[in-house]
A and B are shown apart, each in its own frame.
Chain A
Amino acid sequence: MMPSHIKQLFFLPVFLLLLSGCGQFPKDPEKTLEQVTNGTLHVGYSENPPWVVKGPGGPTGSEPDLVKAFAKSINATIQWQNDTEQNLLENLEKNKLHLVIAGITEDSPWRNKIAFTRPYAQVGKKKHVFCVIKGENAFLVKLEKFLHQQQSTLETRLKP
């Protein structure tokens, strides 16, 4: 029984090569990235200055600025939704939103229900994250790469 297993294992690298050849990788199980690219990005925000500040013309602050730039990079229009953090994250869990910002840090207990991006900035001991739908890996990777590219400009801006 063992020898056949060993042979099968040797096919793995070949299999992986084939995989990397076929377009978008990783993919989204629910196709989030596909839907928002050239489409609408549903973003929930909850006030938490200076990260998110509620204003008459929509949210301002460092996190809304990042979201706006990200939406522009994938040619998406933003549909803002303002609510409490609790309601927003519950909606995110039900896939009714694509993204939630509220100055949330990595140690938030919500980490088991929804997914966090890797910390995009660290202020003091607090690592700041965006909240996304669990398992939508193409969208997550796109967003994380975008945030990483902003990191150097961000950190100079966030310095007190």
Chain B
Amino acid sequence: MKPIDRFEYPEELQPDYAKAKKLEWITVAYLLSTALLVYLTMGNSQAMKTAWFEDMLSLTPAVSFLIASRVFHKAPNKNFPYGYHRVVSIAYLCSAVALFSVGAFLIFDSATTLVKQEHATIGIKVIFGHEVWLGYLMMAVMLYGTFPALILGRMKLPLAIKLHEKNLYTDAAMNKADWMTAAAAILGIAGIGLGWWWADAVAALLISLDIIKDGYTNLKQAVFDLMSESPKKVENQQDDPLLQQVNELLKKQEWIKEFAFRMREEGHIYLGEGFVVPASEQELVSRIEQVSQEVENLSWRIQEFVLMPVQEIPMTTAEK
């Protein structure tokens, strides 16, 4: 049996991957610092508990990325003959669940506030003898919650697509959720200051719809990836054009009369099998070896492509 290779990103992508890891460490530190600031301004109020819960949830993608990054490149062994690539898909699932939960939690929390007509109470805080309306402090903290998250998220998007890192992509969506909730909170607190008790909840409710949409899309894709759906692009849920390239490459071979193939995604990489009905059996073994090598050379993402000569195409294979 041909062992599955130990996977590392190709040389040219190594710096991008290192950058992604660095960004995730910065994200963890940044989110912890916002949590601390929120704690210092809001003490043990209900608003603080909500914000803290959200901060902890939004740490999930970054943390799961960093954990997965220590596991996925391990060499296959007797117990894990396919390697450890799927850990990336599992991390993606965790992140998607966290993103979806943030959205769901926000909807629930703000809807309860509106239904129960809970009026947010914001008094003063005394800082070095000065009486400051706590609302201003909260807005300042929330401002710290917007711009860094916005920038971090924007920096992650191109890397996620390059590295085929759906988990990183979800983390960018989480950063978007973070800065949008913070911005909504600033408007909401300003609204409370104007005497609109519902302002904060309405702002959060509007934002949560966007978050839950992102969360649902990614949650669905993460589950489908684990169910070995055919490979999809990182930035949307469309077929990877690489599948078309494989199709064309197989079609070009004159010695192949008929073929069918299937592929699945395991984290960053794809594994697949092709079934071919050879026109002639001359030099069959070397031809098979050559074509499967050519398929694997199409992209670093195709980690292994096994070709199997058959008398006729099995009915079950999907791609043709």
Contact = CB atoms under 8 A, between A and B. Distances in A.
A123 interface: no
A85 interface: no
Contact of A141 (B123, B139, B154, B187): B123
Interface string A129-140: 000011111101
Contacts, number: 78
Interface in A1-27: 2, 5-6, 9, 12, 15-16, 19, 25-27
Given A2-B154, A134-B118, A135-B119, A28 B195 contact: yes
B123 A140 contact: yes
A137 B193 contact: yes
B121 A140 contact: yes
A115 interface: yes
B73 to A, nearest CB: 32
A19 B123 contact: no
Nearest to A19: B190
A137 B121 contact: yes
Interface of A: prevailing SS: helix
B126 interface: yes
Interface string B180-202: 10010011001011111100000
Interface string B140-176: 0001001100100010000000000000000000000
Contacts of B150: 6, 9
Nearest to A26: B193
Interface string B37-64: 0000000001000000000000000000
Contacts of B133: 25-26, 141
A25 B192 CA distance: 9
A144 B124 contact: yes
Contact of B123 (A2, A16, A118): A118
B123 A137 contact: yes
Given A118-B123, A137-B123, A148-B126, A9 B146 contact: yes
Given A144-B131, A148-B124, A29 B146 contact: no
A25 B193 contact: yes
Contact of A145 (B124, B183, B196): B124
11 contacts: A6-B150, A12-B183, A16-B139, A16-B190, A26-B193, A26-B194, A26-B195, A115-B123, A137-B193, A140-B122, A141-B124
Interface of A: 2, 5-6, 9, 12, 15-16, 19, 25-29, 31, 112, 115, 117-118, 133-138, 140-141, 144-145, 148
Interface of B: 46, 118-126, 131, 133, 135, 139, 143, 146-147, 150, 154, 180, 183, 186-187, 190, 192-197
